[in-house]
Structure 1
Amino acid sequence: MAELTDGTNTAKVEDGAEVKEGCKELGVVFGCEDGLCGTCLVEVMEGMDNLSERTQAEKDMGVEDNNRLMCQCKIKGGRVKILY
């Protein structure tokens, strides 16, 4: 089981699963859930290597550095800390 945290709260996510439900438990707001609106953009503070590769939707939106669209991510395992 992987962990998604905001530093205060933690959500458990199955290894290899999308992180949307875990993010919703932490209070991350979602809009379109298709990588088009940018509502779920977060800064990944720790564990970027534990997330799937950037999707084409993220590249098209210009998401770079430590930022990710949570609607586009899967967690490989381990722990990911986000700031939103």
Structure 2
Amino acid sequence: MDNQEALAQLYDQARSLKQAISDIETTITTWLPRLEAEANAKRIISFLKDRYSAQRELIYELGTTAKEIQALERNMREHDVRGAG
């Protein structure tokens, strides 16, 4: 796989992670009123902990992917400069 393909794959991964993070936020927003109406505090806390934990993991993975994108883009720019020079 060349650098352009790797970069495209990383961008796709970043888009997927952003969508997954957004989906979790939507799920929380949608379900919170239903959980509050249920008045089962343990279930509400468990649900929120689970969703926020999943969201934190995805945000961490997104940060890692962003660093990989930056490193690959920097490498590609340096390669282009060396090739042109």
Give the number of the structure with larger relative contact order, counting CA–CA contacts within 8 Å between residues 6 or more apart. Answer: 2
Range of TM-score over shorter length: under 0.3
TM-score of the pair, normalised by structure 2: 0.22
